[in-house]
Amino acid sequence: MPIWTWIRHEWRLELRQKAGIQGAVLYVLVSLVVAYQATGGVQEAEIWVGLLWIVLLFSVVNSSSRSFVNDSPGRKILLYFWLKPGQLILARMGYQMVFNLVSGCLGFLVFCLLMGFPGNQVFLMLILVAVGSAAASALGTFMAAVASVSGNGPGLSAILGLPLMVPTLMAAVKGSLFALQGGTSQAWMYAGMLLLLNLLAVALGYLLFPYLWRD
Amino acid sequence: MKTYLKITAVAAMIWVIPMAFLGEVSVQPILHETIRNLYWHVTMWFAMFILLLASVVHGIAYLRHNNPIRDEKSLALTQVALLYGGIGIVTGMIWARFTWDTFWTKDPQLNGAAITILAYLAYMVLRASIPDARKRAEISAVYGIFAFVLMVVLIVVLPRMQDVDSLHPGKGGNPGFGNYKDLKNDMRLVFYPAILAWTLLGFWLANLSFRIQHLNRTSHAQH
């Protein structure tokens, strides 16, 4: 089976209980409005970028922490026999990465609608938002797996995941600042670095998940 | 731990501690005598990093062979590394107060170190939350490997990117310690043994902690 089949399967599972997706999208919107209300709109590039990434990071944490919560014991057994552990984690990570990439980009556009865009390279920012959200969701999904097999709720996956997401956050914030202030080549370099973080997180997840999934 | 390693640790400390306070040091503006903190602060990070590396090696070995001893050793090494990290932060803050005029700055290396400590505190929380010993060992080994690799990216790669402003020597356009003209070999003769001393002391501490915890666990099992 190609990887796309497993991701589509995840997507179908999500669609069956619409509350999950609707909740995740609403979470992005609500936190955007909260950020807007709390600051009254900002134009300073550093604060603007910081707010954007805080909102994006927390919505990624929120959506990815759900990724192993809804598995009933019966479904776990089915997945255990149906997929190899590596396939399962790739599917889960892939689904979350695509979902957060899309919702992150949409959230970014809404953020610009509310706060304005203090620069001119919208496309470059979109790329950074996409790779940054994807990297954070790969990490978040793996932490959700760790929290789930340890018998803890999604609360622990936030505690475990947030410190590990800081390298992603630092690269994303730096890159975004360059994108806003005209440092195109540096911004692309940070986008490349975020892409590498994506690959690193996926590779580590693929290698390590089999050890979590063997009971 | 082998006896000759303990003797080496003690011998190195006997050399390092007086030399750190009394030895010849490079004369630099702003730094002045605080440069002696090189032997305490910088070496703490080296030692912490080596201890964490050893902890990850034990974690990998646990996943391969499922020997619970490996997990206990990995835990003890992480605990000592956390202690070293705490000392590293405090000594760094004191140094920063006297040279950069503030306890805490936006310096990427400083914040990278703080985040590493947070990640390993989360590791402790994770361990505490799993009652079953075998599961705890497995899951914490996986988290430990994952966290370590990402922290290497954070502490080693990110602060070395060309455009990053760091106040630390050797980065962001600051001269590295190796470039100080009058540094010569005098400071290296204390600096390298200091790394050795604190690292070996760390392994010794971890070994004692492991043995105490191991005895506690096995004696509980018998009663």
- Which of chain B's residues have a Cβ under 8 Å away from the Cβ of A200? 149-150, 153
The mean per-residue pLDDT over the stretch B23-28 comes to 70
Residue type, B180: Y
Closest-CA distance of chain A to residue B107, Å: 12
Q: Count of CB contacts below 8 A, A vs B? A: 76
User: Are B128 and A151 contacting, i.e. CB atoms less than 8 angstroms apart?
Assistant: no
Residue B55: predicted pLDDT = 94
CA dihedral B206, B207, B210, B211 (to 10 degrees): -150
- Which member of A149, A167, A174 has the closest CB to residue B154? A167
Task: Give residue A74's pLDDT band: very low, low, confident or very high (50, 70, 90).
Answer: confident
Best B135, B142, B160 residue to mutate vs chain A (most A CBs within 10 Å): B142
Residue A104: predicted pLDDT = 93
Residue B29: predicted pLDDT = 67
Chain center to CA of B194 = 13
Determine the Cα angle at A151 with ends B134 and B54, to 5°: 45
- Which member of A146, A166, A167 has the closest CB to residue B142? A146
Residue B174: predicted pLDDT = 57
Residue A73: predicted pLDDT = 79
Neighbours of A145 (CB within 10 A): 26
> What CA–CA distance (Å, rounded) separates B86 from B97?
17
Name residue, tokens 């505490």: B128
Helix, strand, coil % over all residues of chain A, rounded to 5: 85, 0, 15
Residue type, A170: M
Residue A68 neighbours by CB under 8 Å, 6+ apart = A92, A144, A145, A147, A148, A149
The mean per-residue pLDDT over the stretch B108-130 comes to 86
CA atoms within 13 A on the CB side of A183: 12
Q: What is the 3-state secondary structure (H, E, C) of A154-210?
A: HHHHHHHHHHHHHHHHHHHHHHHHHHHCCCHHHHHHHHHHHHHHHHHHHHHHHHHHH
Q: What is the pLDDT of residues A23-40, one digit of tens each?
A: 888 999 999 989 888 888
Q: Quick one: closest CA in A to B128, which residue?
A: A150
Q: What is the pLDDT of residues B52-99, one digit of tens each?
A: 999 999 999 999 999 999 999 999 999 999 999 999 888 888 887 877
The H-or-E segment that residue A121 falls in is none
| CA distances in angstroms from A164 to A118, A136, A143, A211, listed in the order given | 29, 9, 9, 20
Cβ of A136 under 8 Å from any chain B Cβ? Answer: no
Q: What is the pLDDT of residues A119-141, one digit of tens each?
A: 888 899 999 999 999 999 999 99
Supply the DSSP string of chain B, one letter for each residue: --HHHHHHHHHHHHHHHHHHHHS-----TTTGGGGGGGGTHHHHHHHHHHHHHHHHHHHHHHHHH--HHHHHHHHHHHHHHHHHHHHHHHHHHHHHHHHTSSS----HHHHHHHHHHHHHHHHHHHHHT---HHHHHHHHHHHHHHHHHHHHIIIIIGGGSTT----STTSTTPPPGGG-TTTTTTTHHHHHHHHHHHHHHHHHHHHHHHHHHHHHHHHHHH-
Name residue, tokens 């440069």: B35
| Burial classification of residue B206, based on how many CB atoms lie within 10 Å of its CB (0-12 exposed, 13-18 middle, 19 or more buried) | buried
| CA distances in angstroms from A16 to A19, A133, A150, A153, listed in the order given | 9, 24, 26, 22
> What CA–CA distance (Å, rounded) separates A151 from A144?
11
3 state DSSP class of B164: coil
| CA distances in angstroms from A212 to A140, A149, B152, B194, listed in the order given | 15, 7, 23, 39
pLDDT at A94 over 80: yes
When the pLDDT of each residue in chain B is averaged and rounded to a whole number, the result is 82
User: Are B196 and B8 contacting, i.e. CB atoms less than 8 angstroms apart?
Assistant: yes
Ramachandran sector of residue A44 (left: φ over 0; alpha: ψ -120 to 50; beta: rest): beta
**Record: contact B145-A156, CB cut-off 8 A:** no
- Which member of A163, A201, A215 has the closest CB to residue B115? A163
Among A3-7, B67-71, B203-207, which is the least confidently predicted range?
Answer: A3-7
**Record: contact A167-B149, CB cut-off 8 A:** no
**Record: contact A146-B118, CB cut-off 8 A:** no
Q: Quick one: closest CA in A to B136, which residue?
A: A150
- A106: its two tokens: 């949409």
Q: Quick one: closest CA in B to A174, which residue?
A: B164
- Which of chain B's residues have a Cβ under 8 Å away from the Cβ of A215? 135
pLDDT at B172 over 70: no
User: Are A103 and A63 contacting, i.e. CB atoms less than 8 angstroms apart?
Assistant: yes
Q: What is the pLDDT of residues B121-147, one digit of tens each?
A: 999 999 999 988 899 999 999 999 999
Q: Quick one: closest CA in B to A212, which residue?
A: B139
**Record: contact A204-B147, CB cut-off 8 A:** no
- Which of chain A's residues have a Cβ under 8 Å away from the Cβ of B163? 174, 178, 183, 186
- Which member of A152, A174, A211 has the closest CB to residue B142? A211
Q: Which ipTM value was assigned to this complex?
A: 0.86
**Record: contact A208-B142, CB cut-off 8 A:** yes
- A14: its two tokens: 């999500």
The H-or-E segment that residue A101 falls in is helix A85-115
> What CA–CA distance (Å, rounded) separates B168 from A77?
52
Among B7-11, B188-192, B218-222, which is the least confidently predicted range?
Answer: B218-222
Cβ of A186 under 8 Å from any chain B Cβ? Answer: yes
pLDDT at B22 over 90: no
- Which of chain A's residues have a Cβ under 8 Å away from the Cβ of B154? 166-167, 170
**Record: contact A146-B122, CB cut-off 8 A:** no
Closest-CA distance of chain B to residue A7, Å: 23
- Which member of B108, B142, B154 has the closest CB to residue A212? B142
**Record: contact A159-B125, CB cut-off 8 A:** yes
